[in-house]
A and B are shown apart, each in its own frame.
Chain A
Amino acid sequence: MLSTTPTTEFIARALDLSALRQSVYSSNIANAAVDGFHRMDVRFDRELERIALGVAQGTSGREVSAATPNATVVSTDSLVKLDEEVGLMARNALRYQTLLTAMQKGSALLRMAVREGRE
């Protein structure tokens, strides 16, 4: 099944987390006018590292998908700085688009295999 190949599974997970980041940054920007609002952030990179390690060591796609996403939205100590948030958001959007491109390349490979190498 397409969805259980380790690569697509991994990319799908990363896309989910990137989308979560987009919503957290948007929320930070929206709440910038609130007195005493501390910016929020997503902690998940360590989890991704663990999954990536598993993929590198040949873990099957099923095991990767069994790894629960441990993404947590945490409140930090710092106040919202608009320019910083917009910068982070732009970087995250690029990351999201890169992941989408990677996913498209993955399905292009499959398509080539299905067509026995013919374009």
Chain B
Amino acid sequence: MDLFEVFSISAAGLSVEQARLAAAASNLANARTSRTADGRVYQPLSVVVRSQAAAARSDSGRFDPLMAADAAALPRPVVASVEPSLAPPRLVYDPGHPDADPRGFVSLPGVDPLGTMLELMSVSRAYEANLRAFDLTRSLIQRTLDIGRNS
């Protein structure tokens, strides 16, 4: 059983949560971006996460191949893509705005502030949990190294 393998699992979890945080921050920051570089209204981003098994490793010389295989085969999350969500833009009446249409309406991104704040909270909790897992694994390894101390 290789406890060191767990670090890479937790690290994958941490980087996925960072990607979700970045997307949520970008959505909140761009809540009033009526035109982006391609000339269209900003599309809120959503992160698509998939899990993948680690690449099968061929280390037949392992002491306990069964247990090692089990830990290495556990799924790790990866960011599959960051895609613009299909939320329709909000129309706000502002005839003086440079991006207003002929009727005087400005298209603003369909960012859902409440949903994004909830997403932020969920990211924060998940990040903490991953850090906790990382820390516990570290202390288990530390304790294991202490076997036979003071003898």
Q: How far is the CB of B120 from chain A (nearest CB, A)?
A: 13
- 1/0 per residue, CB under 8 A from A, across B79-123: the answer is 000000000000000000000000000000000000000000000
Indicate if B129 sits at the interface (CB-CB under 8 A). Answer: yes
Q: List chain A residues, Cβ under 8 A from B5.
A: 23
Q: Is A100 an interface residue when CB atoms closer than 8 A count as contact?
A: yes
What is the 8 Å Cβ interface bit string for chain A, positions 1-44, against chain B (1 contact, 0 not)? 00000000000000111011011111101111111010010000
A112–chain B nearest beta-carbon distance, Å: 11
How many residues on B have C-beta within 8 angstroms of the other chain's C-beta atoms? 44
Q: Is the CB of A86 within 8 A of B67?
A: no
Q: Which of B11-19, B24-32, B36-44 contacts A (4 or more CB under 8 A)?
A: B11-19
| Residue pair B74, A23 in contact (C-beta under 8 Å) | yes
Number of interface residues of A (CB under 8 A): 38
User: Does B130 have its Cβ within 8 Å of any Cβ on chain A?
Assistant: yes
For B132, the chain A residues whose CB sits under 8 A away are: 29, 86, 89
Complex contacts, A40 vs chain B, CB 8 Å: 74-75
What is the bound-complex CA distance between A31 and B80, given in angstroms?
Answer: 13
Distance (Å) between the CB of A61 and the closest chain B CB? 17
Docked pose: A86 CA to B139 CA in angstroms: 15
B contact face: mostly helix, strand, loop, or mixed: helix
Chain A residues within an 8 Å CB radius of B47: 33
Expressed in whole angstroms, the Cα–Cα distance for A33 and B48 within the complex equals 9
Q: Which of B1, B14, B75, B137 contacts A16 (CB 8 A)?
A: B1
- Cβ of A90 within 8 Å of any chain B Cβ, yes or no, is yes
A104 partner, pick from B51, B137, B147, beta carbons under 8 A: B147
B→A interface (CB under 8 Å): 1, 3, 5-6, 9-10, 12-14, 16-17, 20, 47-51, 64, 66-67, 70-71, 73-77, 125-126, 129-130, 132-134, 136-137, 139-140, 143-144, 146-148, 151
